[in-house]
Structure 1
């Protein structure tokens, strides 16, 4: 029952972000800002702290990565406000009000308050508007972010329950669900890096998440190329980091999410029995997901299973592109 509830919640969240991209004012641009913020914080944290810092025991890089990860709410608030047309100074003021707030609450807080600030900028003389933003908007923005935080945390914890239950029940089920979920979330604005970091995954589950994310590069690049989603730049971008094209993914959810879940699930089953471990939470991303495994496992073992996952993912991506060949592709302005 827990698996059904968790999967249903995940589908609901993904559906919400898809509708948001289509119909919310400036939805596609805001989604692009959200993806950029996740890359600027969680990917920096993963590479600097967990890959370079942990593997080579370099405290400077560990600290740099950790600090980057703590700024997710601030960065997303700034980028969203800026994208929405708020002037840079007011966008920065909105951003600092989200200190200590997570990525998703910061995103919605900045998105909602940006409409108010843009209206104020039109009505209040230049030079006076930022005083009003400091006095009035900062506490309101922070309050919105704090109120949204428990709702976001509850959603992530419910998804995490799937992992716990499935791990206890069967490695096959765990590998299927976790591998599928990680690759789907990795292509969505929720961010697989944020999910695995907040859940604190380690060991075999994190190995499943990180290597399945690596495999998603082959799934998504094949889908984008075959279905002509975006241009060649989009194909390369989604292979390196799926979040970089989160706006395009949200606009074409069915072929991308379905194919990713199948490919990630099959790869997850293989990884669950591989013996690989990963004790670095938050590294569910194609680049860092592969590199960090070398710090916890024999190099030959990592390479063998990386090749297996790449083959599985490439084949599934090709089959998915054939199955969805008549799907009406929607490209966004970000292409």
Structure 2
């Protein structure tokens, strides 16, 4: 029941945020900004706190990482309004107003204020709008973060804990589910970093997220080379799948199916070995691999990483063979080239 509950709730979260991206006003741009906030805060924390600080013992870098990791809410509350066209000064004001809150309360505050601040600018005479934003928008931003924080703790973070417990109970099953889902989400606009940050995943689930996404770089490199035969696209998707979101969205079946199967295969390997990763939101190829060395034996991480890369290459090759006659939209068709 614990496993079933974890899987069901994971798909509920995915469905909810997919609907948010597709149906809410400017939802896709907001989710992209959330992924950017995770990059600006959690990735810096991962590199400097866990690698530079814990692994190499440099206290200055550890302090830098700790400071960056605590700013997830501020980054989200500022980047979302900027992405949605709000004056950068007012966007940073909104971000500063939610200092001390997590990334999801900050995200929600930034999203709500993205529609409130332009209304204030529209209704209040120029010159007085700054005072109005300070008096009205700043308290409202902190109010939204305050009321959403307990809800986030009771839902998203609790779901993350359920998934972590399920992974410890049955690592193979959760390796398949998490490896497949997180790798597939890494190619979708939602972003694997944003998903794992929202759920607050740590331990084995976060290790599955980090190394399965690392393996997907090799998988997608081979898959795109075989299907699209475009060198720049192949290199770009291997480095960061989100750069090719338009091409992936136009060809979802071959990309998502291959990524789910390949991710599930690598997820089983990672779960079977029992690697851990306590750096939240590090489901990303390069940083995810680097952070793993801060929590596990270096030799074991290297062996598993090589195994994930080889698995990714195999899955990408098989996917390229299976879908070679599938009707695809080419790079030129998707991007309007002659």
* TM class, shorter-length: 0.7 to 0.9
Q: Structure 1 residues 31 and 278 mapped into 2: Cα distance closer, same or farther (>3 Å)?
A: closer
8 Å CA contact retained: 2:50, 2:294: no
Find the counterpart in structure 1 of residue 96 from structure 2: 96
Deviation readout 1:85-128 (Å, 9 max, x if unpaired): 21122112111122122222222221222112112212222221
Tell me if 1:288 matches 2:287: yes
Find the counterpart in structure 1 of residue 159 from structure 2: 158
Q: How many Å apart are 1:40 and its aligned residue?
A: 0.9
Unaligned stretches of 5+ in structure 2? Answer: none
Matched pairs, number? 330
8 Å CA contact retained: 1:42, 1:193: no
Q: How many Å apart are 1:164 and its aligned residue?
A: 1.0
After superposition, the CA RMSD in angstroms is: 3.5
Q: In structure 1, how many angstroms separate the alpha carbons of the residues matched to 2:30 and 2:227?
A: 25
Find the counterpart in structure 1 of residue 80 from structure 2: 80
SS at match of 2:273: coil
1:129-140, aligned counterparts within 5 Å?
129-140=129-140
Q: TM-score, normalised by structure 2?
A: 0.81
Find the counterpart in structure 1 of residue 14 from structure 2: 14
Q: In structure 1, how many angstroms separate the alpha carbons of the residues matched to 2:248 and 2:38?
A: 15
Find the counterpart in structure 2 of residue 42 from structure 1: 42
Q: In structure 1, how many angstroms separate the alpha carbons of the residues matched to 2:16 and 2:251?
A: 13
Q: In structure 1, how many angstroms separate the alpha carbons of the residues matched to 2:32 and 2:251?
A: 14
8 Å CA contact retained: 1:206, 1:278: yes
Q: How many Å apart are 1:67 and its aligned residue?
A: 1.0
Greater mean deviation of Cα atoms: 261-270 or 214-223: 214-223
Greater mean deviation of Cα atoms: 214-223 or 103-112: 214-223
1:145-294, aligned counterparts within 5 Å?
145-153=145-153, 154-168=155-169, 170-184=170-184, 186-187=186-187, 189=190, 191-192=192-193, 195=196, 199=200, 201-202=202-203, 204-222=204-222, 235-242=234-241, 256-274=255-273, 276-278=275-277, 280=279, 282-294=281-293
Q: In structure 1, how many angstroms separate the alpha carbons of the residues matched to 2:335 and 2:145?
A: 28
Q: Structure 1 residues 239 and 40 mapped into 2: Cα distance closer, same or farther (>3 Å)?
A: farther
Unaligned stretches of 5+ in structure 1? Answer: none
Tell me if 1:309 matches 2:308: yes
Greater mean deviation of Cα atoms: 210-219 or 33-42: 210-219
Q: In structure 2, how many angstroms separate the alpha carbons of the residues matched to 1:232 and 1:15?
A: 33
Q: In structure 1, how many angstroms separate the alpha carbons of the residues matched to 2:335 and 2:72?
A: 25
8 Å CA contact retained: 2:157, 2:198: no
